[in-house]
Amino acid sequence: DIVMTQTPSSQAVSAGEKVTMSCKSSQSLLYNENKKNYLAWYQQKPGQSPKLLIYWASTRESGVPDRFIGSGSGTDFTLTISSVQAEDLAVYYCQQYYNFPRTFGGGTKLELK
Amino acid sequence: EVQLVESGGGLVQPGRSMKLSCAASGFTFSNYGMAWVRQAPTKGLEWVATISYDGSSTYYRDSVKGRFTISRDNAKSTLYLQMNSLRSEDTATYYCTRVRGARPHYFDYWGQGVMVTVSS
């Protein structure tokens, strides 16, 4: 199974701050035939279902604000929020879809400083 | 608007069975793979099973293989998860998700979730 490791597990932030969080996979998620990274990011706010933010490591889902930026390739990926808003306080999960079983990282929880 | 509405959860004793349903609307159900993802209380997300758009292919995590069965009825736009021989570690909120991509890939829409508690 591909192990997804997210760091930090939690992060205290202030509104307007730039935030970065890391996701590392135990094997490469880059498929050589199409040069795509099989990685997605999700946001889960308290008491809500997860919501898709980013797929193919860097493609923003329709309707997702452009302050959310996905980057990285191979085994190292980053989700950046360029200027955190109060409504961004949530847990963020990365997920690989390179193979089965699909696996998620443990999550990064954004909290108010 | 895409809607996924789960039902069928509740309290069940260890070793017993339960069947979850997910009613889909707002999209052509038969064009999409579907999946179940669960979340134990205060824990992270865990993929459970995926079924292809036509039901011809199914995939399971090892811990549920042989106990859970994912299925679909495209005429009714409904996804199912039959869960047998339930264990305490199956206690979780179960989310019905739509899967985007031919293979299929990532989960683009999620239901509100249904709680399953396995306890005597």
Q: What are the pLDDT digits (tens) for B37-64?
A: 999 999 999 999 999 999 999 999 999 9
pLDDT reported for residue A112: 86
Interface of A with B in 35-94 (CB under 8 A): 38, 40, 42, 44, 49-52, 55, 61, 93
Residue A49's alpha-carbon distances to A40, B13, B92, in angstroms, are 16, 26, 13
Whole-number average pLDDT of chain B: 97
Beta bridge partners of A10: A109
Q: What is the bridge-based pairing of β-strands B10-12 and A108-112?
A: unpaired
- Contacting residues of B for A44, CB less than 8 Å apart: 45
Rounded mean pLDDT of B6-21?
A: 98
In tens, the pLDDT along B75-111 reads: 999 999 999 999 999 999 999 999 998 777 899 999 9
Nearest residue to B39 via CA among A49, A18, A65: A49
For CA atoms A65, A2, B41, A12, give the dihedral sign: negative
Nearest CA in chain A to B112: A49
Of B44, B108, B111, nearest to A49 by CB-CB distance is B111
Decide which of B102 and B8 is more confident: B8
pLDDT reported for residue A97: 97
In tens, the pLDDT along A61-75 reads: 999 999 999 999 999
Residue A11's alpha-carbon distances to A21, A22, A24, A92, B4, in angstroms, are 9, 12, 17, 11, 32
Question: Are B45 and A100 inside 8 Å of each other by CB?
Answer: no
Neighbours of A12 (CB within 10 A): 11
DSSP A99: S
State the nearest Cα–Cα gap between B16 and chain A, in angstroms. Answer: 25
Of B35, B45, B62, nearest to A93 by CB-CB distance is B45
Decide which of B102 and B74 is more confident: B74
Strand order through the sheet with B18-25: B3-7, B18-25, B78-83, B68-73
Residue B11's alpha-carbon distances to B64, B65, B83, B91, in angstroms, are 18, 22, 13, 9
pLDDT reported for residue A53: 98
* Residue A98 at interface with chain B, using a CB cutoff of 8 Å: no
Residue A86's alpha-carbon distances to A11, A12, A70, in angstroms, are 14, 12, 20
Nearest residue to B35 via CA among B47, B50, B55: B50
Q: How confident is the model at residue A5 (pLDDT cuts 50, 70, 90)?
A: very high
Question: Are B45 and A51 inside 8 Å of each other by CB?
Answer: no
Nearest CA in chain A to B113: A49
pLDDT reported for residue A106: 98
Whole-number average pLDDT of chain A: 97
* Residue A13 at interface with chain B, using a CB cutoff of 8 Å: no
How many Å is the Cα radius of gyration of chain B? Answer: 13
pLDDT reported for residue A15: 94
pLDDT reported for residue B89: 98
Q: What is the bridge-based pairing of β-strands A108-112 and A10-13?
A: parallel
Of A51, A52, A104, nearest to B44 by CB-CB distance is A104
